Amino acid sequence: MKRALALAALLTGALLAGAQKLPWQTSASMKPADDQLVHFLYPQQVTVPAGKAQTVELHFRINAGLHINSHEPRQKSLIRTELIAAEPTGVNISAVDFPPGSDYAFPLDPQEKLSVYTGDFVLKMHLTARKGNHLVQGALRYQACDTNTCFPPRNVPVAMDVIGQ
Amino acid sequence: MRRNILVLTAMVVALGLMIAAGVMNYLQRRRAAEAQAQMMKMTLVPDDGSGQGSTEQPVTETADEAAENSTGMNGKAAPNFTLVDINGKKVSLADFRGHPLVVDFWATWCGPCKVEIPWFEKLHDQYASQGLQILGVSADDLDKDDPAKLFTEKRDIADFAQKMHMNYPVLIDADSIANSYGGLDALPTTFFIDKNGKIVASTIGLAPEDLIEADIQKAIHSGASS
């Protein structure tokens, strides 16, 4: 299990501004839910002890027949799966763990092994929340392919209420 | 005793009527279901060009045939464009009028594209004497507002092209012409264009090498005598 910090920035100001779009929302890669090839399943809300470091599991599902690159693809040119998240005031996200990828090779290129995710996968977010309700927003950036076609990179929104008690 | 026989007879008759009614009801419902299923059956028929489907000779489409016409642009004029290549030189589609041409949209992050690029290199040499030209158009994202990032992205595309030994012009910024080429929602997407600028075949996704070669031959021979 590799630990990787994949938090783009502390964007508290942007969150407070409300009307202002977050970085991943301005990208053409943000597709409507129907066009997404990966879906954020749950949780939409978690309750954690205030002030204590906690791990929250984020569950995702990839459409059948597709794969996406893992967080650590074997070729430099491939686009890694990343979580881009903003930290609202009162929440500190220290790291996100990505699962290791599985080996995959395109049928017409069996020699070149890729590191990919298929089906369901889980990210582990390490966070500490102050007392109160906080909305953590972000996006999972991914690039999907099937056996002979690849699709441009997309961002699937991730939103979760974190309740510190 | 006689009364019991009458009651028993009435019960048997009633039971018989109930069974008969049940059987008839079942048969009626089955006939209705069959009729509905028949109505919902769909038959694929060849398009005779009249816009009216024929009711005879249902056909099944092979995967290759489906891939061959998947862009919906076959038979249309290839939309013109002007892009820059990895050396900064402007290249227009119109420059290639009079040549059979392959325009292959690809990206550095596209595994299937990497499989077919060596095929294009080989076919480029193989059909050079018949005037074949190939253009590879990169669909990699370009941060046009960030000069430093843009520089790196262009360099990465050029490095990739060099590593893959691409022996034909490599253009960048496919996104700027994506709409005119059907959106380019999946890669690789390849167009085979004849000497007159007409798209004679196109594929979305990695097509078998022999299909690519057949499409190149189609582009070479289409409009050859015009």
Q: What is the ipTM of this complex?
A: 0.80
Percent of chain B scoring above 90 in pLDDT: 65
Answer yes or no: are the C-beta atoms of B210 and B116 closer than 8 Å.
no
Q: What is the pTM of this model?
A: 0.74
Asked if residue A8 has pLDDT above 90, the reply is no
| Residues of chain A contacting residue B114, judged by C-beta atoms under 8 Å apart | 109, 112
Percent of chain B scoring above 70 in pLDDT: 71
SS3 (DSSP) at B137? strand
* Residue in A79, A149, A152 closest to B205 by CB: A149
pLDDT for B164 equals 95
Answer yes or no: are the C-beta atoms of A100 and A24 closer than 8 Å.
no
| Residues of chain A contacting residue B188, judged by C-beta atoms under 8 Å apart | 149-150
Residue-wise pLDDT tens digits, B73-93: 999 999 999 999 999 999 999
Q: What is the C-alpha to C-alpha distance for residues B223 and B226, in angstroms, rounded to an integer? A: 5
pLDDT for B54 equals 33
pLDDT averaged over every residue in chain B = 80
Interface test with A, best of B109, B137, B144, B176 (most A CBs within 10 A): B109
* Residue in A77, A79, A108 closest to B206 by CB: A108
B210's CB contacts (< 8 A; 6+ apart) are none
| Residues of chain B contacting residue A79, judged by C-beta atoms under 8 Å apart | 109
Q: Do strands B133-138 and B101-106 pair parallel, antiparallel, or not at all (unpaired)?
A: parallel
Among the residue ranges A4-18, B66-80, B168-182, the one predicted with the least confidence is A4-18
Q: What is the C-alpha to C-alpha distance for residues B195 and B224, in angstroms, rounded to an integer? A: 7
End-to-end alpha carbon distance in chain B: 105
Q: How far is CA B20 from CA B6, B32, B34, in A?
A: 21, 18, 21
Answer yes or no: are the C-beta atoms of A125 and A60 closer than 8 Å.
no
Residue-wise pLDDT tens digits, B92-111: 999 999 999 999 999 999 99
Chain B residue with Cα closest to A110: B115
Residue-wise pLDDT tens digits, A9-63: 333 333 333 334 445 454 455 556 668 999 999 999 999 999 999 999 999 999 9
Answer yes or no: are the C-beta atoms of B178 and B160 closer than 8 Å.
no
| Residues of chain B contacting residue A149, judged by C-beta atoms under 8 Å apart | 112, 186-188, 204-206
pLDDT for B42 equals 29
Among the residue ranges A123-132, A148-157, B41-50, B172-181, the one predicted with the least confidence is B41-50
| pLDDT tier at A98, thresholds 50, 70, 90 | very high
A34's CB contacts (< 8 A; 6+ apart) are none
- Are B112 and A108 a contacting pair at CB < 8 A? yes
pLDDT for A29 equals 56
Q: How far is CA B153 from CA B81, B86, B146, B160, in A?
A: 21, 11, 10, 11
- Are B113 and A150 a contacting pair at CB < 8 A? yes
Interface of B with A in 124-143 (CB under 8 A): 139, 141
The single-letter DSSP state of residue B99 is S
pLDDT for A162 equals 96
Among the residue ranges A24-38, A82-96, B58-72, B164-178, the one predicted with the least confidence is B58-72
CA A118 to chain centroid, in Å, comes to: 14
Asked if residue A82 has pLDDT above 90, the reply is yes
Answer yes or no: are the C-beta atoms of B132 and B220 closer than 8 Å.
yes
**CB-based burial label for B192 (10 Å; 0-12, 13-18, 19+):** buried
| Residues of chain A contacting residue B160, judged by C-beta atoms under 8 Å apart | 77
| pLDDT tier at B31, thresholds 50, 70, 90 | low
Q: Å from A162 to nearest chain B CA?
A: 34
Among the residue ranges B3-7, B30-34, B99-103, B134-138, the one predicted with the least confidence is B30-34
Chain A residue with Cα closest to B115: A109
Answer yes or no: are the C-beta atoms of B46 and B65 closer than 8 Å.
no
Q: Å from A69 to nearest chain B CA?
A: 10
**CB-based burial label for A72 (10 Å; 0-12, 13-18, 19+):** middle
Interface test with A, best of B153, B206, B209, B212 (most A CBs within 10 A): B206
Whether a cis peptide bond, with omega within 30° of 0, leads into A99 is no
Interface test with B, best of A150, A151, A154, A155 (most B CBs within 10 A): A150
B26's CB contacts (< 8 A; 6+ apart) are none
| pLDDT tier at B5, thresholds 50, 70, 90 | confident
| Residues of chain A contacting residue B107, judged by C-beta atoms under 8 Å apart | 150, 152
